[in-house]
A and B are shown apart, each in its own frame.
Chain A
Amino acid sequence: MTVILRTEALTRVLAGVIPVTLVEGIDLEIARGEFVAIMGPSGSGKSSLLYLLGLLDVPTAGKIWLNGSDTAGLGEDALANIRLKELGFVFQFHFLLAEFTALDNVLLPIRRLGALSAREARAKGLQLLDSVGLADHVNKYPSQLSGGQRQRVAIARALSNDPLILLADEPTGALDTRASGSLRDNFQVLAHSKQCSVVAVTHDPSFAKAADRILFLVDGKLQPPDRAAELFDMSVR
């Protein structure tokens, strides 16, 4: 098992008159090709943990190793480069650029990376949209797509840079049951067939059930596996 992401005593405290601890002492390992679901009640720090894992936020204490490299002390540009090359993000709301077509949205990270020619980039974008079942919607604007379709465009965009890890924050939050099921299948294929680790924050037990491992956060603290299983069972009931 190759560990692709590791954290040690990860803590994030929001400074202020009354400091707020978002997550505390998180020790975590994510293997290559593993599909991990993070669950927990609202305000338990799931999204905050995801932002830390995605290097969007900087921990107050603790460390993150990505693909064996320590990310502590890296500047904003270096972190942006890692996000550009090695991470993919999917959020609850699709966050597509409204003035860009589905294809242009997918091509955004590729074009920023600048590693492919225009023709190669387009071919890759079309292939990604095809893989999420949107081959017929490449030139449509987000306003012309349904919620599920937009989310699939967002997934195609998140995968366009061939990330090591896909980080998803409530990806099914705005989707119906059918679209959620389809997305869950996509994530499984991604993790198991394409060896892209998936870390997804979710409230949806049926979605989490498809994951290889379920982590449970309560008050910013990661619960031990047996307690996590207990809490998951309670959430199903």
Chain B
Amino acid sequence: MMRLAFTIALSHLLSRRRQTLVSLLGVTLGVAFFLAVSSLMQGSDNDFIKRLVDNSPHVTVYDEFRQVRPQPALLFFPDAAVDIRSVKPRTEVRGIRQYKEKLALIADFPRVRVAPVLVGQAIVTFAGKDLGATINGVVPDLMTKVSTIEEHFVAGSLETLASNPNGIVIGTGLADKFGVRMGKNLTVTSPVGVVRTMKIVGLFRTGTAAYDDGQAFMLLKRGQDLLNRPNVANRLILKLEDPDLSPSVASAVEAAIGYKSQSWQEASQDLMSLLKVRRIMMYSVVAAILIVASFGIYNVISTVVLEKTRDIAIMKSIGFHARDVLAIFLIEGATVGLAGSLLGTGLGFAMMLGLSRVEIKSPFNTEPTALPLDWGLFPVALGIGFAMASSLVAAFLPARKGASVHPVDILRGAA
């Protein structure tokens, strides 16, 4: 029966060639634009997330706690009615206590790399000009394993710090402000009044102005000395083989060592929700395109049902069931939907290929960059699925009308 239904459906569609072509074109363009736009959106999302994931730690352990530590009295008498008021918190030395032990503990986690960092503020001076900077005391060989900063060096490297205890690495933004290059000496003054003269042994440019203008790296030991915080690290930076596991690893680390551990997803919650909103907007617009396209299918099948009422009556008088008639018109909708989806997929990929060749040049970047595109198959499946669903829904309404035709009403009218 399905073969017969398909033959009849095809003959109906061919009998309204122009209308069928228009509705086919609607689905084709709908699917093609859906693929091109979603590929561009998903590509830019992926590019953004990749930059975020690559350029920021997957998990950062801070020298702070999410919740205030419980009072010993509460721990000692958990079931008692203890009420403690006017507690004066003890002044604690900031930093992760016994960070080396915690570092070793985290290093035992599977597929996790970890590095300690001491972050603090300092004033950098050159030729009478003072600029504030965030200094990062790092262990170079560990830092290179958890950060992509090494990829952004335009001169020197992080490793150079190991052989230059008084070396400092700064961003090109900061260097440009001072008008300095490699090998120049800068004076670094910490908030506790320690002053050190440090030689520039590396320059980096990430492309993020705030980072390039305000970050500096030095050896962890030198940072501890400068900030007068010997044997202290206030950050542990984790890099994971699978960044998507960051939330669970952050929870496990926090449970193990107690300090606040933040995944990159948690740190970028606002950006992630922005991406989600962007995605919802895109899918809404593209869904609207496909819904409009499905009106074309509704139109052609309604016309065919109207034109072929007599044929429906004769088929039912021969012995076709209502569901056979329903199947014929649903096949018509599905055929237009499927053909439109396949053509749309081809056209969509052609558009994506064209878009991938478009290069955009930023005024702040010398190198032209290609439009980020995602070539994943999920949007294809989604586009085809949505086009098929809307085609079937559009076909169902006139098909149901066709299936309910009472042959006697038509035969009596024709006689």
Give A residues with C-beta under 8 Å from B: 47-48, 51, 54, 56-57, 76-77, 80-85, 87, 89, 91-93, 95, 97-100, 104, 108-109, 111-114, 157, 161, 169-170
Q: Are B314 and A112 in contact (CB under 8 A)?
A: no
Bound Cα distance from A111 to B411, whole angstroms: 23
Count A-B contacts at CB 8 Å: 77
Bound Cα distance from A85 to B320, whole angstroms: 11
Question: Using Cβ atoms and an 8 Å threshold, which residues of chain A touch B15?
Answer: 98-99
Q: Are A85 and B412 in contact (CB under 8 A)?
A: no
5 residue pairs of the A-B complex, CB under 8 angstroms, read A82-B319, A84-B320, A98-B15, A112-B4, A112-B319
Q: Are A108 and B318 in contact (CB under 8 A)?
A: yes
Interface string of B8-25 (1 = CB under 8 A from A): 100110110000000000
User: Given A48, A77, A91, A99, which contacts B11 in the complex, CB threshold below 8 Å?
Assistant: A99
Question: Using Cβ atoms and an 8 Å threshold, which residues of chain B touch A157?
Answer: 318
Q: Check if B407 is an interface residue, CB within 8 A of chain A.
A: yes
Q: Are A57 and B408 in contact (CB under 8 A)?
A: yes
Q: Are A80 and B4 in contact (CB under 8 A)?
A: no
Bound Cα distance from A113 to B315, whole angstroms: 12
Q: Are B319 and A109 in contact (CB under 8 A)?
A: yes
Which chain B residue shows the least CB distance to A201? B415
Question: Using Cβ atoms and an 8 Å threshold, which residues of chain B touch A95?
Answer: 310-311, 313-314, 414
Q: Are B317 and A99 in contact (CB under 8 A)?
A: no
Also in contact, A80 and B320, with CB within 8 A (given A56-B408, A56-B411, A112-B4): yes
Bound Cα distance from A157 to B317, whole angstroms: 12
Q: Are A83 and B317 in contact (CB under 8 A)?
A: yes
Question: Using Cβ atoms and an 8 Å threshold, which residues of chain A touch B14?
Answer: 99
Q: Check if B351 is an interface residue, CB within 8 A of chain A.
A: no
Bound Cα distance from A108 to B319, whole angstroms: 10
Q: Are A77 and B311 in contact (CB under 8 A)?
A: no
Most A Cβ at <10 Å: residue of B4, B314, B322, B407: B314
Give B residues with C-beta under 8 Å from A: 1, 3-4, 7-8, 11-12, 14-15, 310-311, 313-322, 324, 407-408, 411-412, 414-415
Q: Are B321 and A76 in contact (CB under 8 A)?
A: yes
Question: Using Cβ atoms and an 8 Å threshold, which residues of chain B touch A89?
Answer: 317-318
Question: Using Cβ atoms and an 8 Å threshold, which residues of chain B touch A93?
Answer: 414-415
Q: Are A97 and B311 in contact (CB under 8 A)?
A: yes
Question: Using Cβ atoms and an 8 Å threshold, which residues of chain B touch A47?
Answer: 411-412, 415
Q: How far is the CB of A140 from chain B (nearest CB, A)?
A: 16
Q: Are A112 and B318 in contact (CB under 8 A)?
A: yes
Q: Are B415 and A56 in contact (CB under 8 A)?
A: no
Bound Cα distance from A95 to B1, whole angstroms: 21
Also in contact, A170 and B415, with CB within 8 A (given A56-B408, A112-B324): yes
Q: How far is the CB of A174 from chain B (nearest CB, A)?
A: 11
Which chain B residue shows the least CB distance to A94? B314
Also in contact, A56 and B318, with CB within 8 A (given A99-B12, A112-B4): no
Most B Cβ at <10 Å: residue of A80, A82, A84: A80
Q: How far is the CB of A69 from chain B (nearest CB, A)?
A: 16
Bound Cα distance from A111 to B8, whole angstroms: 12
Bound Cα distance from A57 to B411, whole angstroms: 11
Q: How far is the CB of B319 from chain A (nearest CB, A)?
A: 2
Q: How far is the CB of A92 from chain B (nearest CB, A)?
A: 6
Q: Are B311 and A84 in contact (CB under 8 A)?
A: no
Bound Cα distance from A117 to B233, whole angstroms: 83
Q: Are B8 and A97 in contact (CB under 8 A)?
A: yes
Q: Are B315 and A108 in contact (CB under 8 A)?
A: yes
Q: How far is the CB of B282 from chain A (nearest CB, A)?
A: 41
Question: Using Cβ atoms and an 8 Å threshold, which residues of chain B touch A82?
Answer: 319
Question: Using Cβ atoms and an 8 Å threshold, which residues of chain B touch A91?
Answer: 314, 411, 414-415
Q: How far is the CB of B10 from chain A (nearest CB, A)?
A: 9
Known contacts A84-B320, A91-B411, A157-B318; can you find 13 more A-B pairs with CB under 8 A?
Answer: A47-B411, A76-B321, A77-B321, A89-B318, A92-B415, A95-B311, A98-B15, A99-B15, A112-B1, A112-B4, A112-B318, A112-B324, A113-B319
Bound Cα distance from A97 to B317, whole angstroms: 13
Bound Cα distance from A89 to B324, whole angstroms: 19
Bound Cα distance from A100 to B11, whole angstroms: 8
Also in contact, A80 and B319, with CB within 8 A (given A47-B415, A99-B11, A112-B1): yes
Which chain A residue shows the least CB distance to B14? A99
Bound Cα distance from A48 to B3, whole angstroms: 34
Bound Cα distance from A95 to B313, whole angstroms: 9
Q: How far is the CB of B117 from chain A (nearest CB, A)?
A: 76
Q: How far is the CB of B4 from chain A (nearest CB, A)?
A: 5
Question: Using Cβ atoms and an 8 Å threshold, which residues of chain A touch B317?
Answer: 54, 56, 83, 89
Question: Using Cβ atoms and an 8 Å threshold, which residues of chain B touch A99?
Answer: 11-12, 14-15
Bound Cα distance from A104 to B4, whole angstroms: 10
Question: Using Cβ atoms and an 8 Å threshold, which residues of chain B touch A81?
Answer: 319
Question: Using Cβ atoms and an 8 Å threshold, which residues of chain A touch B316?
Answer: 80
Chain A to chain B: the 4 pairs with minimum beta-carbon distance, closest first:
A84-B319, A99-B11, A83-B319, A95-B314
Q: How far is the CB of B317 from chain A (nearest CB, A)?
A: 5
Question: Using Cβ atoms and an 8 Å threshold, which residues of chain A touch B321?
Answer: 76-77, 80
